[in-house]
Every structure is written in structure tokens, then in C-alpha cells.
Amino acid sequence: MTAKPDNLSKQRSHYKLPYSFGLGGVPIGNGFNALSDVMAEEILESAWTSGVRYFDTSPWYGLGLSERRFGHFLHNKERESFILSTKVGRVLKATSNIPKTMWHEPSPFEYEMDYTAAATRRSVEDSLQRLGLSSIDIVYIHDLSPDNKDLGENWMKSFEQAKNGAMPELTRMREEGLIKAWGLGVNTIEPILETLKVADPDIFLSATQYSLMYHEDALNRLFPAVKEHGASIVVGAPLNAGFLAGADRYDYEGKMPDGFKQKRERITAIAKAYGTDLRTAALQFSSAPAEVGAVIPGASSGKQAAENVASMQTKIPSDFWRELKEEQLISNNAPIQT
């Protein structure tokens, strides 16, 4: 069965997140360094205490570790009091020979890329087991994208598998009431545009594509297509995996684009002149477009989690944004917080 959009996609009211800010689960899965369970719990507790009620995780993050930690924290909370999203596309299997990945001290699992209907259903069930929760709100088809090294140039072959498998299966799960919404969780734009042609998704987790450092392509191609469909965007990695919070890394692969450190230094100086800081500017910038339902930075400490929330509650002078546009540090057509 191929998932195809029809007139109902324009008539149906697509799911909208009730929260505009959340917590991304990459650091909780030991994405940049190894955290103890106690440290992970402190991050989650700090985020919750600061008012965060949207949490995003994935089987991929720490090979199940992130989901286990999120579930351990959330299982004592009232299920109706928070929104949880996870992902499908990788099926985990227990192993004594853990594969080499980006994760530090991951759980003892290996994985297989699989976007079929059966694997999608199994992945959701496995996630519920790891989480220890009764339901998942949003499911993203994960890394169905050319930057996924497991797929590479043949990613469209996997896209066809998902078009005939994961997409209609998630649509059925939505219709059955097992989930509230589905979409893609990817680091590039093309897979989202292709999905909008063949299916009726609700929401997309677009990571690394809309930040202070890089946003033109999303503004000009991604947001108009999503708006026309009636869907929405969750901005992942709004700090470019810590770069806009001062870390000397850029995105998940760590390759630093030419001139980006200098651009960061200039924006930082302008922010200081207006009594604000780079992280605050970056988070508010990514949340400004009408198509954005939420931004979900990660955090590597409880202090960072609280600081991220505080940044969203800070007023930035409008002249700051005007100066960034005048110096061509952000696009002229970029929406700004008012």
C-alpha cells in the first residue's frame, strides 16, 4: 500500500504541539560525552522544574539509552501532563559486540535500518517497552536522508520502502488513536519535501536547518511547502549542537564551515552590546517563524537546561535584529521575535 495524499490532507486538521519549547534527547543518550544516570536525571529534573513539557528521544540515541532514561524520569509523571516523541527506522537487537557509533558508552544493542510497516510497528512497541510508558504522542521516521551514512546515495531506495511501509503504517496508527501525529526527523530538507508529495504527515523534526548560522534554504523552500500542507516544524539543534552556546563543534559531525567562527564572534559582540547573549538570540531566532511549533535544544547539564528555558523568557531589543540584518548576518526575510 502506498501512502498518497488526497483532499483530506487539506481538509484534516493537522496536529499542533501545545508547547513551543522542549528538550532534545541526544545528550541524554551520551551524544557528546558519557553522562551518568544521575547526571541525566538532573538534566531532566531541571528541565521539568523550569516548565519543559515536551520531550524528544529516539532508539538511535545511545542505542536505547536515551529512551530508557527518559522513561525512568517520566513514568512517575501524569501521562497527560507532557508530550513525548520518539522515532522509527532503526530496529535494535541485543548484542555483546556493540557497533562503533557516535555514542559514548551506549546500551548493548546493534541496529538494523528498516522502514517497513512491520518494523515500524515493532519499533514503536519496543520503544514503549524501553520507556515504560503507555503511549507515544509523535513518531518521526528517523534519518531517512542522504546524510545518513547507513543509506548514503541509495537513500531514495529506503525512501520508497518507507513510502510503502512506515508512512501508511504510521497513518494507520494515527487513525487507530495509538499516536497523535507523525512526520520525519531529518537533518536535510529534501526528504521532507518528498514526503509532502506522497503522504499526509503532521509535523517534521528538522534539525540543523534553521539556526542563526544557517537558515536561508529552510526559509525559501521548506517553510512554504510545510505551510501549504498545513503541517508544522520542530526545530532540532537550534544551537547547532552547542556551537551557538560556545562549544567548538558544529552540528553532529563536527565539521566547521568556513567563516562560521568569525560570524559567531560578530553576533556575540552585537548581542553583548544589546544586553543579551548568543544562546538567547539563537533560541528566539529559531522559534520566530509561524511554521515552527517548537524548538528543542539539548542540554548536557541541569544548569544548561534551566538556562535554555530562561533564554526564551528574555526580551531582546528589536534593534538587535535590525542590526543583524543590516550587517547581513541573518536573512532580510527571516522572521524575528516581537
Whose grid coordinates read 548568543?
Answer: 278
- Are the beta carbons of 265 and 279 closer than 8 angstroms? no
Beta bridge partners of 111: 92
Instruction: Give whole-number Cα distances, 213 to 79, 87, 246, 281, 330, in Å.
Output: 36, 26, 13, 11, 8
How many Cβ atoms from other residues are within 10 Å of residue 176's Cβ?
Answer: 8
61 catalytic, yes or no? yes
CA 60 distance to own-chain centroid: 13
Strand bridging mode 181-186 / 23-24? unpaired
C-alpha to C-alpha distance for 164 and 54, rounded to whole angstroms: 30
> Which residues have CB under 8 Å from 329's CB, separation 6+?
212, 263, 266, 267, 270
C-alpha to C-alpha distance for 147 and 154, rounded to whole angstroms: 11
- Of the candidates 54, 61, 140, 210, the residue annotated as catalytic is 61
Which residues are annotated as catalytic?
61
